[in-house]
Structure 1
Amino acid sequence: MMRIGLFLLTNIAVLIVASITLNLLGVDHYVSGAGLNMTSLLIFCAVFGFAGSFISLFLSKKMAKMTTGTEIITQARNSDEQWLLDTVAELSEKAGIKMPEVGIFPAQQANAFATGWNKNDALVAVSLGLLQRFQKEEVKAVMAHEIGHVANGDMVTMSLVQGVINTFVMFFARIAGYAVDSFLKSNDEESQPGTGIGYFITVIVFEIIFGILASFIVSWFSRYREFRADEAGADLSSNHAMIGALQRLKAEYEMPDQMPGQLTAFGISSHMKSGLMELMSSHPPLDKRIEALQKRG
């Protein structure tokens, strides 16, 4: 219920922000009797495309805490929590960023994630299961990987990529919808001015098709940044420790994933997939990640 509420609130915020922005820009409706106004259409799609991405980005820390049940460590209650705080502080200083908030979420599956709207206002969290079962050297490597995401600005970059993808999916779907609608009207002498049902149906169909195709691009970029975060984790901890952590994750991959879908892309691991599903996965196979680190020497 809470996730549904957050989803609805986010979408309401997108509509409000986008509507205000379009009004301030003075963007007229992009369909008129003269045809499509490409400039207005592109601005319309860009405002809605980026509004969703950036509102989600700005709310990411709060949503992550609520959906995962992450408890922020404000004051260490035991030696493990103190060690975790000290480790993140050490890694953050080495990476040249402000220390993020540090949290633990109650999941037995070994995972961790990073989120936040900028590198100096971030959150890194680790699952209770990983903290309890992994050796300290492996936990440090996992946290180094997450600090690598933060230092590389991956959250902002992914939001920009998603915003661009959203914009062009909406843009080309509406062009296709207008073309189909115009074709149908050319064969209907009683058609009325403006867009018809053919336009709206075609837009929905093409948004689904283009959205699926665009997801391959987003997933490819997400997999690429995982390799970069692994390299950053190896530099901040050690290559040996990063490889060991990934091997340990591989040994535990059959445990059910307890991370919400919107955070899976920013976790240290995800379920292994093959074939077409691998191309749509946000993470490369662990074997490939381990092999890439081994090649570094």
Structure 2
Amino acid sequence: MNYLKTAILLAGMTALFMGIGAMIGGQHGMWIALLVALAMNAFTYWNSDKMVLRMYGAHEVDERSAPEYYGIVRELAQRAGLPMPRVYVIDNAQPNAFATGRNPQNAAVAASTGLLQSLSREEIAGVMAHELAHIRNHDTLIMTITATFAGAISMLANFAMFFGGSRDRDNPFGIFGTLVMMIVAPLAAMLVQMAISRTREYAADRAGAEICGQPMWLASALAKIQSAAHRVPNMEAETHPATAHMFIINPLSGARMDNLFSTHPSTENRIAALQELAAQMGTGAVGRFAGRPSPAAAGSPWTGGGPWGGSRRRGPWS
């Protein structure tokens, strides 16, 4: 999906938001809804990264506190032609990662302790390359805006239930139209969010594989993360399911209804696409680093100075 199609989807979500406002308050409600949407997204634009990082209890690390992890991100950022993002660690046993920030100059990447302890160095590089691809493609801003709209649309639909719709002559649909909107609008918002998020994941997989030069590093990481993610709960994500689309793999357990509208494409399809890309790039279907022990199993290089510490080595692509 190119940026034009994404813009069309965002415009559709804006129209849906204004439509709910019209259902509640007629023409005046429509314009008030638009102003609210603009205000919410302005706030999100400047504060989304801080909000999400605080939500997950992420703490920033540097080259002294996490030399191996930090070094991987730095080398990948150089390869991607990006400014060095802020680097965070989330104290969570579920292996996962996400990127956030309004633009490449104000971006951050975060990985869980579960990911840093259970994946090999090459697999971690594949995951971080994927997250940097989101930053380079400005996906972090787009996906945050869609999440804000989706949440706001659900909120307005709840308001419609209490207010019962406008009896203003500007609203020709009346109470019946309001009831339909209460059901359809949140579903439509989720579908738009899914369409944007799923396509962005495929694009970030491909761009990330090109950044690190080894598609199978990411493919191997995705298989491991998918296997563990639904066995190891992420309580913060369960509490804030609207943020699930930010992670490289859906962090939700599936015990709730959220997975009926998963914002992530099939992991098997993502791996298949990466295998095809590996064949096109001539890197092989497995990759020369497959089968190497994970950091937790090997005890080094990640265990010196903490589970993600250790002395820095040359990049895995050198």
TM norm structure 2: 0.66
User: Would you say the 8 A contact 1:220–1:279 is kept in 2?
Assistant: no
1:157 corresponds in structure 2 to 142
Q: Percent identity?
A: 28
Pair 1:44–1:142, CA change in 2 (3 A) = same
Residue 120 (1) aligns with residue 105 (2): yes
Report the counterpart of residue 257 of structure 1 in structure 2.
234
Q: Map 1:81-100 onto structure 2 (within 5 A).
A: 81-100=66-85
Please tell me the residue identity of whatever aligns with 1:252.
A
Equivalent residue for 1:9?
none
Distance 2:207 2:235 in 1: 25
Match of 1:105 among 77, 90, 93: 90
Q: Which residue of 2 aligns with 1:246?
A: 222
Output one character per residue of 1:141-189: Cα deviation in whole Å (capped at 9) or x when no partner.
1111111111110122224545777898969x98x934xx368xxxxxx
1:269 maps onto 2:273 in alignment = no
Q: Which amino acid is 2:186 matched to?
A: G
**Alpha-carbon distance in structure 2 between the residues aligned to 1:63 and 1:160:** 13
Give the residue type in structure 2 aligned to 1:266: M
Tell me the secondary structure at the aligned position of residue 120 of structure 1: helix
- Is the Cα–Cα contact under 8 Å of residues 243 and 290 in structure 1 kept in the other structure? yes
Using the alignment, how far apart are the partners of 1:144 and 1:216 within structure 2?
27
> Which whole-Å CA distance do the structure 2 matches of 1:36 and 1:61 have between them?
35
- In 1, Cα distance between equivalents of 2:119 and 2:222: 11
Q: Which consecutive residues of structure 2, in runs of 5 or more, have no partner in the other structure? A: 1-20, 280-318
The runs of at least 4 aligned residues of structure 1 exceeding 6 Å deviation read 163-171
Aligned residue runs from structure 1 range 25-174, under 5 A: 36-37=26-27, 42-77=30-65, 81-161=66-146
The 1:208–1:104 alpha-carbon spacing in structure 2 relative to 1, beyond 3 Å, is same
* Distance change in 2, residues 1:228/1:75 (3 Å): same
Q: What is the total number of aligned residue pairs between the two structures?
A: 243
257-266 or 134-143, which deviates more = 257-266
Answer with 1 or 2: which has the greater Rg.
Answer: 1
Query: Which whole-Å deviations, capped at 9, do the CAs of 1:75-132 have from their partners, x for residues lacking one?
Result: 523xxx1111111111112222211100111001101111112121111010011111
Q: State the superposition RMSD in angstroms.
A: 3.5
Bigger RCO (CA 8 Å, 6+ sep): 2
Q: Would you say the 8 A contact 1:278–1:284 is kept in 2? A: no
One-letter code of the match for 2:248? Answer: I
Any conservation in 2 of the 1:57–1:155 contact (CA below 8 Å)?
no
What TM-score do you get using the length of structure 1 for normalisation?
0.70
Residues 176-225 of structure 1 show CA distances to partners (whole Å, capped at 9, x for unaligned) of 934xx368xxxxxxxxxx99xx76x9647624531222211111211111
Please tell me whether the aligned partners of residues 57 and 156 of structure 1 are also in contact (alpha carbons under 8 angstroms): yes
The reply on whether 1:284 has 2:265 as its aligned counterpart is yes
The reply on whether 1:212 has 2:187 as its aligned counterpart is: yes
Aligned residue in 2 for 1:177: 165
CA distance in 1, matches of 2:177, 2:208: 46
CA distance in structure 2 between the partners assigned to 1:162 and 1:127 by the alignment: 22
Does the 8 A contact of 2:58 with 2:91 survive in 1?
yes
* Deviation, structure 1 residue 279: 5.9
CA contact (8 A) 2:149 2:189 kept: no
Relative distance call for 1:164 and 1:56 in structure 2 (3 A) is closer
> 1:287 is aligned with what amino acid?
E
Q: 8 Å contact 1:42–1:167 — kept in the other structure?
A: no
